[in-house]
Structure 1
Amino acid sequence: MKSPYFKEEHHLFRQTVRQFIETEVAPHAVEWEEQQEIPRSIWQRMGELGFLGLHYPEKYGGSAADFFYSVIFTEELSRSMMGGFCAAVGVHQYMATAHLAQAGSEELKQKYLVPAISGHKIGALAISEPGAGSDVANIRTTAVRNGNDYLINGSKIFITNGVYSDFVVVACKTNAAAGISGISLIIVDRNTPGFTASKLKKMGWHSSDTGELFFDNVRVPASNLIGQEGNGFYYIMDSFQLERLIASIGSVAAAEVGLEITLKYINERSAFGKKVNKFQAIRHSLADIATEVEAAKQFTYYTSWLYEQGEFAVKECSMLKLLTSELAKKAADVCLQCFGGYGYMEEYPIARMYRDARVGTIAGGTSQIMREIISKIIIDDVSYQPAYTDAQGKPGKATPEINANNTHPREVKENKDEITDKNNSLTTTTNQNQFTGNMNSTPQTAREIVMSLSDRLKTYKVDPNYQTTVHFDLLGANGGKFTVSIANGVCTVQEGHIGEPQCLLTAKDKDYEDVELGRSNPQMAVLMGKIRLSNMGEMMTFSGLFKRLY
């Protein structure tokens, strides 16, 4: 099926990953599930194939590929039909090493990120504790400065890769009196004295190791601190969006694979003298699941596109995590039912998929937490700001805006009234991606909106070498023909069509206004033909460089 998100090279990459999974991973599923361990050789094999550094810079061994390569990789992992394998790889690549890549020193990147990308070191991220799961602000593990070292004491639980990993990124309290601003991220090597781990027995995800970690006066060098001391909470909250997006992609893919093997089964199985696929109850239940899976998949692609554009899509990632994890659980249940008694037998993969799907609504933020985040956004007008990017686009904790009372609000309503929430799960202020000019003069007509582009360019995101020209042909009394150019980090807007464009956008003035002012979904507007583009890829790059009006 044609897609605005995938190019020919994406499809070729998918074939490569699928061949790897089907020939080198899936055939060993039963063995790895029974042994409850993934061989180190397969990690190194993934490193050789370039799978473990898709989105990381080439200087560290990565590919610097666009995010849709990660989408494909995550989808294809589900064909292993081992939720544990998917979780182990996802945690290693998109959680443990993510903080290293974002805020780690060059020394740490060379010591840990490079071998992690090559598959010679396995990483884990340790946040949850026996008394603090989703409540990250109340972790108790401490890291006390002692000369040039930190002394770490405490424990962690439910840590994927916690037993067999080579290093663990640990969330610690470096200043117990500073609340959420006293949490830091520190790397601990597996062989450090005082650091021990025990494997937990789980309902599902058998192929991956999940551990409880113990730290007894574990001494690590202060240079193992990731980023700035006291910024750990903000780093964690920021990275939750990527974690939830990856989990959502995996959930939809798992549901789709489950549906595929179920369709194959009902096409072969007979009962009461006819194929099972002829029973209306079976047909309709799978029709419902197929419809929901397809809708969820398109939502994951749109949210992935937002992520690729640099949007801090908290609302979409939270909605997606809620929707897809619940759907994966539902799909596994419906599919297993179609197998009858055989579905309850361990030798049938659907039984494993049923067990593995259950944790989806718990791991990475429970469905209840997702609903609360969504409620804050749609009801309380809360907006969120990333931690890894400040107003100038530099790494580090973003500086909160100062309100009229000279306080730093964690949640901000549209009217800038502060909402107090000491355990708020994200650093939040007026979104830096939102146009912050005088809201009384916010552009309203298509003409005004286009003319405002020169003022809305996020200059910190523009590559100095990036140049483009886009023609706008907006039909109607409030529209017109315009040329928008970006060169040397500057955006200019001129009336009329000038020069050869990299992209032509054609739309009715009302349809364009609805998209720009947040009244309609841009993806749906394109898919329905209300917004016509001559070059989708160029427009995706171009549109991500401007602040929104809503």
Structure 2
Amino acid sequence: MRSPYFTVEHDVFREGVRKFVAEEVAPNADLWERDHMIPREIWRRMGELGYLGINHSEAHGGSEADFFYSVVFLEELARGNMGGFTAAVSVQQYMATAHIAKAGSEDIKQQFLVPSIEGQAVGALAISEPDTGSDVANIRTRARREGDEYVIDGAKMFITNGYYADFVVVACRTGEDGASGISLIVVETTRPGFKARKLDKIGWRCSDTAEMSFDGVRVPVSNLVGKENHGFYYIMESFQLERLVGAVGAIGAADYVLEFTGKYIRERQAFGRPVARFQTIRHDMADMVTELAAARQLVYHTAWLYDQGEVPVLECSMIKLKAAELCNEIIDRCLQCHGGYGYMEEYPIARAYRDTRVGTIAGGTSAIMREIIAKMVLDETQYETVYKDRDQAEQLNKAASDPAAEKAEAAPKQAAEKAEAAAPATGDGSSIPALFARLPDRFSEALWSGEDLVFHFNIEGEGGGEYTVKVAEGKATSAAGLSGAADCVVDTAAKLFLDLEAGQANPQTAFMTGQLRVSSIPHVLTFMRIFQLG
């Protein structure tokens, strides 16, 4: 089916991946499934072919290709008819290394990202725990700081690539209870105190899924990914990519199963004619092909949104729900088309049936997806992206430095007086203009890291307005209007901002429900710390 999302270059790339899967992956399916492992040779081979760096920067050995190359790659991996292989590669490229690529230091990238792209190292992402599952805000694995090291104690469960991995990006509690105390730390699996136990699964047999334990595991502080206590926000954003990747894989798997089922029913004879000639089978196939085509277009549209720099939470939730459930349904109906042979392990449909079942569980259950969708559609909850991409940041900075912004900076007193007149007050008489006027006096140089920062505030509603807060040379200034290139842009309502200041609202809840929208969570947390807000 022709598509506006793919170019001739994408088609050529698809041919290459399909050839690789047909010649070097699919023929080994029975062996890898029997051995419950993916050999290191195939990782190195994918590294040689450039497949493990499609989405990563050229500076680190990747190709920095648009996301539809990843769509092609994930769809074609499904033709190996090993859900575990697709899952293992997806975790390596779009989950474990994705955090390192986005937030890690250059040293961490050289140590872990580069060999991963080359296929010389395999990574895992460890978030789920035996007692908390996907409740990320309440994870218990703890990393305490001792000098230049973190000491990690705890356990993780259901970790793909976890048994044979060379390194694991681990979600740990480094601060207070709740979402604000979580960090991501890279742990080499050779560290003393680390243990992994391989779990036996219904499907995904070629991939290793592990239970992990951390007993006083020591790693250098330099293994911290991004900033301490910011891990929850990194994870929340990455969930959208994980769900998009899972949906693409589900579409690819369903498409491949429909392909070989169609061939089977055309060749299989019953009552003197091909099974494909029976009306019930024909119409069932017609329904499945149609439903898959509709789901595929929603997946492609979501991939396009992601490629444009958006983090489409609603669409990612919808495609995760639809693609996973549809894949289960299609493969179940295709097994029925095989009759008794479909229940035999020697037929490929049996493996597909086992492998696809976890699709409605991994990466967020169908129930969770429905709740996210319902909250956005019925409760009008808006989940905003944590980070803007570079193009969006440049647009914000350009807008902030236009003549209108400069004019606003030149007349801060008039703007402040106008806003003061219409400002709602809190119980203690505070207003938005008064709050910003007091900010410089509340600045704590002792808590400041020394980084020059510019914050733009768009305070909506009655009594709101636009404000710029700057920190430089150990001093803070605050003025009405927007000026300078912003390191962080904050959008919220006047009442909520005052409630946050008074400690009557929770900033984490405000962020997760979309009431507090920021372009950089790390910077806004810095702002709250150095100005002692909330």
TM-score range, shorter chain: 0.7 to 0.9
Q: Secondary structure at the match of 1:2?
A: coil
Cα distance in 1, alignment partners of residues 247 and 208 from structure 2: 21
1:84 matched to 2:174? The reply is no
Which shifted more, 188-197 or 380-389?
380-389
Q: Judge conservation of contact 2:184–2:225 (CA < 8 Å) in 1.
A: yes
Q: How does 1:275-290 map to 2 (within 5 A)?
A: 275-290=274-289
Q: CA deviation at 1:335?
A: 0.3
Decide whether the 8 Å contact of 2:302 with 2:316 is kept in 1. yes
Query: Distance in 2 between the 1:231 and 1:379 partners?
Result: 30
What CA deviation, in whole Å up to 9, does each residue of 1:437-486 have, x standing for no partner? xxxxxxxxxxxxxxxxxxxxxxxxxxxxxxxxxxxxxxxxxxxxxxxxxx
Aligned partner of residue 338 in structure 2, secondary structure? helix
Deviation of the 1:201 alpha carbon: 0.4
Q: Give the corresponding residue for 2:71.
A: 71
Q: Which residue of 2 aligns with 1:94?
A: 94
| 8 Å contact kept, 1:197–1:213 | yes
Q: Is the 8 A contact 1:137 1:423 kept in 2?
A: no
Which whole-Å CA distance do the structure 2 matches of 1:160 and 1:360 have between them?
A: 13
Q: Which residue is 1:379 aligned to?
A: 378
- Whether the 8 Å CA contact 1:383–1:431 is kept in 2: the answer is no
The letter for the 2-side match of 1:43 is W
Determine the structure 2 residue equivalent to 1:156: 156
Residue 183 of structure 2 aligns to a residue in which SS? strand
Cα RMSD between the aligned structures?
2.3
Corresponding position of 1:132: 132
Counterpart in the other structure of 1:223: 222
1:48 has 2:48 as partner: yes
Deviates more, 1:273-282 or 1:160-169: 273-282
Contact (CA 8 Å) 2:310, 2:385: kept in 1 or not? Answer: no
**Is 1:428 the counterpart of 2:514 in the alignment?**
yes
CA distance in 2, matches of 1:369, 1:331: 22
In structure 2, the CA distance between the partners of 1:238 and 1:158, relative to structure 1 (3 Å rule), is same
- Over residues 116-152 of structure 1, what are the superposed CA-to-partner deviations in whole Å (9 max), with x where a residue is unaligned? 0000000100000011122111110001111111010
**Equivalence map 1:86-235=2 (5 Å):** 86-177=86-177, 179-235=178-234
Cα deviation 1:310-348 (Å, max 9, x = unaligned) = 111000000000000000100110000000111011111
Contact 2:129/2:157 (<8 A) preserved: yes
Name the structure 2 match of 1:543.
none
1:387-536 matches, within 5 Å, as: 387-389=386-388, 392=393, 401-405=491-495, 407=497, 426=512, 428-429=514-515
Are the aligned partners of 1:200 and 1:210 in contact in 2 as well (CA < 8 Å)? yes
Query: Does structure 2 retain, via aligned residues, the 8 Å contact 1:17–1:76?
Result: yes
Q: 1:400, CA displacement in angstroms? A: 5.4
1:408, 1:225 → 2: CA distance?
A: 34
What residue identity is the alignment partner of 1:404?
Answer: A
Q: C-alpha distance in 2, partners of 1:206/1:2? A: 34
**Mapped contact 2:22–2:80 kept (Cα < 8 A):** yes
SS at match of 2:494: coil
Q: Deviations over 1:265-321 (max 9, x none)?
A: 000001111110011111111111111111111111111100000111000000000
Identity rate, percent: 58
Instruction: Render the CA deviation track for 1:134-183: whole Å, top value 9, x for unaligned.
Output: 21111100011111110100000000000001000000000134x10100
Other-structure match for 2:298: 299
Residue 327 of structure 2: aligned partner: 328
- CA positional deviation for 1:228: 0.7
Give distance in 1, aligned partners of 2:363 and 2:286: 29
- Structure-2 residue corresponding to 1:461: none
Show CA shifts across 1:230-284 (max 9, x none): 1101100100111000000000110010101100100000111111001111111
Partner of residue 433, structure 2: none
The 3 A distance-change label for structure 1 pair 283 and 98 is same
Hey, what's the Cα distance between the residues in 1 that align with 2:221 and 2:180? 18
Aligned residues: 424
How far does residue 431 in structure 1 lie from its aligned partner after superposition?
Answer: 5.8
Q: Which has the higher helix share?
A: 2
1:385 deviates by: 1.9
Q: 1:2 to 1:428 in 2, by over 3 A?
A: same
CA separation in 1, counterparts of 2:235 and 2:14? 30
How far is 1:392 from its partner? 4.1
2:489–2:518: 8 Å Cα contact kept in structure 1? no
Q: How does 1:292-371 map to 2 (within 5 A)?
A: 292-371=291-370
For 1:98-129, what per-residue CA distance to the aligned partner results, in whole angstroms no more than 9, with x for missing partners? 00000000000000000000000001000000
